Amino acid sequence: MFPKSSTRNPELSGAPPSAEGRTGPRLPEPADKAAGFSAPAGEVRGAAAGGDPGAHETATITPGIPGGRHRVVAPSRFSLILVAIVAGSALFMGGFTLGAHVATTPGTPADQEARFGPFWDVYSLIQSKYAGSPRPSQDQLVQAAINGMMQSLNDPWSYYQGPADFANSLLDVGGQAQGIGVVIQLQPVDPASSISCAKIGGGCELAISAPVPGSPAEAAGIQPGDVIISVDGKPLDGMTVDQATALIKGPKGTPVTLGIDRNGTSLQVKIVRNVYDRPEVVYRSLANGAVAYIDVSGVNDPAWSQFHDALAKAMAAGQKSIILDLRGNLGGYVQDAVHMASQFIGSGTIVYQQNAGGTQSEITADPNGLAVDPSVHLVVLVDGNTASAAEIVAGALQSRGRAELIGSKTYGKGVVQEWLPLTNNFGGIHLTVARWLTPDKVWIQGKGLQPDIAVSSDGARAGTDPVLNAGLQRLGFAPEAAPSANPAATTAPNAGPSPSPSTTPVPSALPSPSPS
């Protein structure tokens, strides 16, 4: 048995979805704990588009939302006036909106000319008189203006991203990652030691919790419990986890050589970084087949489909005890969270949406859930990185009395964002559009969900999982045995990392283990 990483987020890669791809409001992965809720009607990140001399209409395609296609006209010059186009309950049901682009009409509207006069004065003066160096381009000025508007909201969830960063923030939607595919953990060399590790060396080592199934690391023979000593011949002593991870990461097609200590044997393992499918859901049987263990790493369309298939297999096998592992699950689409929770809750409220005006809308369970029979016993594993849409699932199951939560307090992100790409390859914007509440109308923002059974995994070594064992015991089964001393003699579970939070512009506040 190997541990469920507390972050489980690999390097991400892949092209962002097209305008015809999946869209809808989303709860993006947390990067910093937000203290409050911003009233604007959406979370948007993005850059302004260049001016278009002709007025036009554009449509944003929103699959999964009744009506699907919404057409609006919004006055704008260089796309400086940004308009969120999806509203009401349709907004909430998608988790985040990834529209085709924001509809604009060039030119400042007549009733806004006085207000925007100073802006255009400054813009024109910079263009005509600025003698400094380097001189910003028109696009840079527009991007800076949009960035300033987003910063004025004082909302850590609402921000602008340029083209590359915005594309990277959407990679998890496609269920792919780029890199070597391992989850790493900083731990004491001596299992009996209680020292707190901040850097590699001085009694601390960088161990591999597990390779991601189907990743280059797994193909190269990397095993759980391997200790990374060097990267491309460079010793790691004195480095932080982030510094070591930066050496391991790299673009597709480039090689990296890890110096490995495997149970006292030194190895040099060459791995070629690549794009690989990131498993969103892992299903396996525990307790001699009596318990179905379902590990869900994200809340998105691939995860929902894989989760449904796994649960169907468990029901077909007659498994009446289920462990749903949401640790490290940083969220995703709200509609998929509703689908997941509905498999255990036959009817009634799953979650409430509260829009910027304070109006609450009830979102109820889908019919025909696979495991709504009360004879199916369920526990949910959570931690400080269970966030956003994953908290919707956990919160619904807990407040409706369908499951107990085991582990540690969840992250506490109770707001919903829209993600909208902008035209002319200007990136995109994220904007807070709503808050969500549990079925008993509790807003968890900044507070999280408290577990019914508190179990800490602090200090747990690679290869052990006290939280999972607590779940087994709560269901009436013996804990999993510790792994053998020889990693090669053990069987790694199919536990993979989950989508990572955006690293810009808000830094991640998540603890180790870390992805590579």
Note whether 335 and 452 are same-domain residues: yes
Note whether 303 and 333 are same-domain residues: yes
Closest CA to 182 of 108, 267, 269: 269
Per-residue pLDDT, 393: 98
Q: 174 or 275: whose pLDDT is higher?
A: 275
Position 509 pLDDT exceeds 90? no
Which residues constitute the domain of residue 237?
Answer: 177-277
Residue 326 maps to which CATH number? Answer: 3.90.226.10
Closest CA to 343 of 311, 313, 385: 311
Note whether 236 and 377 are same-domain residues: no
Contact 300, 313 (CB under 8 A): no
Per-residue pLDDT, 85: 19
State the Cα–Cα distance between residues 251 and 22, nearest whole angstrom. 26
Radius of gyration of the chain (CA): 24
Position 44 pLDDT exceeds 50? no
Note whether 469 and 343 are same-domain residues: yes
The domain boundary residue, chosen from 277, 306, 331:
277
Note whether 272 and 362 are same-domain residues: no
288 part of a folded domain? yes
Position 487 pLDDT exceeds 50? no
Per-residue pLDDT, 205: 95
The domain boundary residue, chosen from 228, 247, 277:
277
Position 47 pLDDT exceeds 90? no
Note whether 441 and 316 are same-domain residues: yes
Length of the chain, in residues = 516
Position 84 pLDDT exceeds 50? no
pLDDT average, residue stretch 89-100: 35
Note whether 383 and 460 are same-domain residues: yes
Q: What is the pLDDT of residues 1-10, one digit of tens each?
A: 434 543 333 2
pLDDT band at 231 (very low <50, low <70, confident <90, very high): very high
Closest CA to 162 of 415, 424, 418: 424
pLDDT average, residue stretch 150-155: 94
Q: 487 or 339: whose pLDDT is higher?
A: 339
Note whether 440 and 332 are same-domain residues: yes
Which of 316-330, 363-377, 450-464 has the lowest average pLDDT?
A: 450-464
Note whether 293 and 364 are same-domain residues: yes
360 part of a folded domain? yes
Note whether 341 and 482 are same-domain residues: yes
Note whether 456 and 325 are same-domain residues: yes
Residue 155 phi/psi, 5-degree rounding, is -125, 115
Q: How many domains does the structure of the chain reveal? A: 2
Per-residue pLDDT, 59: 25
Note whether 402 and 378 are same-domain residues: yes
